[in-house]
Amino acid sequence: MSSRAWPPSSKARERPVDPLKLKALSMGLSKELKVVLIKMDSAGRQTFNISELEEPRIPMSELSIVNTAAEVVRACRGERVKGKFKESYLLPSFCVKPKIAINIPIPREKLNPPTPSIYLESKRDAFSPVLLQFCTDSKNAVTVIRGLAGSLRLNLGLFSTKSLVEANSDHAVEVRTQVQQPADENWNLNGSAQTWPCESSRSHTTIAKYAQYQASSFQESLEEEKESENEEEEEEDKTSDTLATTKIIKFGTNIDLSDPKRWKPQLQELLKLPAFMRVESSNNMLSLVGHTILGMNSVQLYMKVPGSRTPGHQENNNFCSVNINIGPGDCEWFAVHEHYWDAINKFCDKHGVDYLTGSWWPVLEDLYSSNIPVYRFIQRPGDLVWINAGTVHWVQAVGWCNNIAWNVGPLNAYQYQLALERFEWNEVKKVKSIVPMIHVSWNVARTLKITDKDTYKMIKHCLMQSMKHIQILRDQLVAAGKKIFYQSRVKDEPAYYCNECDVEVFNLLLVTSENSTKKTYVVHCEDCARAKSSSLAGVVVLEQYRMDELMKIYDSFMLVSITCKRKRK
């Protein structure tokens, strides 16, 4: 029916319509009173009585993922929380990590367990669901897939130094200047003892210039080999030998290959990989970030000479990683299951180096004496190393080689739990979580169907906690007289972080103008905004999602059976 078919009454013509009121109604500010009709008998006749229906309010402490979004919001509104709401996003008393007995001493010979190595016989094997299950099994810290490049006929020559120079010779390279040492040693500056800190200085160059260095380093080595053949070798103890042969090397790291125009042939070649290993895929949480995170959901390249070191670390937010050795030389890897990360963290504290942000190289004897098993293996050209969620690892080049690497976030319970745990630990340690986990969790709920019960429970709980955080802060801001302005997100808009403490800020952005002439706007978290002004003077509050929009996503996010998912396909 068109609007013209409904003529206004004479009274309506006299009273002009207030467009602001119409707008307010369209924005969902109308209120409803729910009533119930109760059937009654009166003098033998049936009649109805109208009664208000009181909505029951559940105490916030009793909320769970079985509750609706409306029940969650109602519970928050009635709670009257004072100060900042600080509940965890993690599902309490719920853990999908494997149970590893740490009290039982491991015999010395078993502290170097064999590394799971898969030899593919055909291309079909690479795309088998069994391979995905094996790589992502929480018991397997690391998996080496031998000769994957050959099985899939990957043209690794596209990533050779020669090809890189021809493609983009002036491309930026970060250089780490390091001391060359044996892979299982890390000496202090005067060479008197082994230690954990692993220092290096940073500079920058181009692919062409590093290529020259890589080639000249190889040439020098050939000449040194010839000279040593003509000299008599003398036996010396290991320490003096280490000091005598101290050599400074340069490692070309963090070379960004994200630009699809500059690196089109290289990036297209990687589409030959199985879906779960690709830079981008439908079940990869990092594909739902909505913007590029360099080196995580984009490819990075490493150019190496013998001794080039990637110090010990877990991947950002404990995500899985894929690493392919381009060759021609080998790399040596060391890996420890996520279960032991805190023990390694304590060693870092003891040696005065920050576990999350510092540069460290574990002393193997320290790990063995603490009953910590270490996987140690060689990655040859064409081998793919899959680092599972949370695995601690460190790598050294044996020969001259290039490597390519990126992160992936398979949507399983183990990966999600570890990512969210590290998200919260980073906040405690005041370290930025490169992956905005709250933003990603809402994107997962909006776009994917989850068939695994444990994964679903953890994501749903995170969303519930997120709604609680938002509603409580929203009510506090309104009660304090702050206006909240709606500003919807635009395509490819990045997630937001606090300008001071780097914590993720989701939905309610507390914004200040730092420079009145340049109009630069800065986002703050609640704590940092209140630290500047307890009354939030000069702070503008922007809301990126309406609460009813988030409520709809929350209620629509349901566990899907595998058979139901297949039918929809």
| Residue 559 confidence (pLDDT) | 97
- Partners of 450 in the β-ladder: 559
Q: Which residues are within 8 A (CB) of 334 and not within 5 positions of it... i.e. 6 or more apart?
A: 183, 362, 364, 374, 375, 376, 393, 394, 395
pLDDT for residue 33 is more than 60: no
User: Does the pLDDT of residue 155 top 60, yes or no?
Assistant: yes
Q: Is the pLDDT of residue 14 over 50?
A: no
Contact 314, 75 (CB under 8 A): no
Residue 80: predicted pLDDT: 79
User: 409 pLDDT exceeds 80?
Assistant: yes
- With a cut of 80, say whether residue 567 has pLDDT above it: no
What is the pLDDT at residue 548? 96
Determine the distance from the C-alpha atom of residue 128 to the mean position of all C-alpha atoms in its chain, rounded to a whole number: 26
Distance CA 270, CA 125 (A): 17
The answer to whether residue 55 scores a pLDDT higher than 80 is: no
Of 10-19, 169-178, 483-492, 556-565, least confident by mean pLDDT is 10-19
Asked whether the predicted pLDDT for residue 13 surpasses 80, the reply is no
Helical H runs in 174-235? 207-230
In the prediction, which pLDDT does 17 show?
41
Tell me: pLDDT of 4 over 60. Answer: no
pLDDT of 257 > 90? The answer is yes
* pLDDT of residue 49 exceeding 60: no
Q: Which of 3-12, 32-41, 147-156 has the highest mean pLDDT?
A: 147-156
Q: How high is the pLDDT of residue 84?
A: 85
| More confident call, 1 vs 362 | 362
- Phi, psi at residue 161, to the nearest 5°? -60, -40
How far apart CA 308 and CA 183 sit, in angstroms, is 10
Topology at the third CATH level for domain 108-222+244-418: Jelly Rolls (2.60.120)
With bands split at pLDDT 50, 70 and 90, how would you rate the model's confidence at 432? very high
Kindly state the greatest CA–CA separation across the chain. 122
pTM: 0.88
Q: What is the pLDDT at residue 22? A: 38
Which one-letter DSSP state was computed for residue 239? Answer: H
SS3 string, 507-532, reads CEEEEEEEECCCCEEEEECHHHHHHH
* Nearest CA-CA partner of 401 in 333, 320, 334: 333
The predicted pLDDT at position 315 comes to: 98
Mean predicted confidence (pLDDT) in 348-374: 97
Structure tokens at 167: 């493609």
pLDDT of residue 48: 57
Q: Which of 6-10, 16-20, 32-36, 127-131 has the highest mean pLDDT?
A: 127-131
Handedness of CA 126, 130, 135, 136 (dihedral sign): positive
Q: Could you tell me the pLDDT band of residue 21, with boundaries at 50, 70 and 90?
A: very low
Between CA 144 and CA 135 the distance in angstroms is: 9
Q: How confident is the model at residue 189 (pLDDT cuts 50, 70, 90)?
A: confident
What average pLDDT is seen over the chain? 89
Please determine, for residue 24, whether its predicted confidence score (pLDDT) is greater than 90: no
pLDDT at 280 over 80: yes
CA distances from 540 to 115, 509, 512 (A): 54, 8, 6
Per-residue pLDDT at 102 = 74
Task: Identify whether the C-beta of residue 424 lies closer than 8 Å to the C-beta of residue 88.
Answer: yes
The one-character DSSP state at 276 is G
CA distance 368 to 370: 5
pLDDT confidence of residue 392: 98
304 forms beta bridges with 401
**Pick from 551, 358, 341: nearest CA to 463:** 551
The pLDDT score that the predictor gives to residue 228 is 75
Residue 46 pLDDT greater than 90, yes or no: no
Q: Which candidate, 453, 399, 418, places its Cα nearest to that of 141?
A: 418
Pull the structure tokens for residue 328. Answer: 């021609």
Look at residue 171 in the predicted model and tell me its pLDDT.
98
Q: Residue 524 above 90 pLDDT?
A: yes
Please name which of 54, 37, 39, 136 lies closest in space to residue 96, comparing C-alpha atoms: 136
Estimate the share of the chain in helix, then strand, then coil, as percent rounded to the nearest 5.
35, 25, 40
For residue 27, pLDDT beyond 80: no
Lowest mean pLDDT among 16-30, 70-84, 312-326, 362-376: 16-30
Distance, in Å, from the CA atom of 470 to the CA atom of 99, rounded to the nearest integer, reads 35
Is residue 2 pLDDT above 50, yes or no? no
Answer yes or no: is pLDDT of 57 > 70: yes
Judge whether 484 and 541 are in contact, CB under 8 Å.
Answer: yes
Dist CA 462 CA 468 (whole Å): 10
543 Cβ neighbours under 8 A, 6+ residues apart: 474, 484, 485, 486, 487, 507, 508, 509
What φ, ψ does residue 347 adopt, rounded to 5°? Answer: -65, -40
Per residue in 328-343, pLDDT (tens digit) is 999 999 999 999 999 9
Nearest-10 crossing angle of helices 207-230, 161-168 = 150
pLDDT at 497 over 50: yes
Position 233 scores a pLDDT of 53
CA 12 to each of CA 16, 24, 168: distance values in angstroms, whole numbers, following the listed order: 7, 19, 71
Residue 28, pLDDT > 70, answer: no
pLDDT digits (tens, 9 = 90+) for 258-279: 999 999 999 999 999 999 999 9
Identify the weakest region by mean pLDDT among 48-57, 165-174, 181-190, 344-353: 48-57
Please give the pLDDT value at position 416: 98
Whether pLDDT at 230 is above 80: no
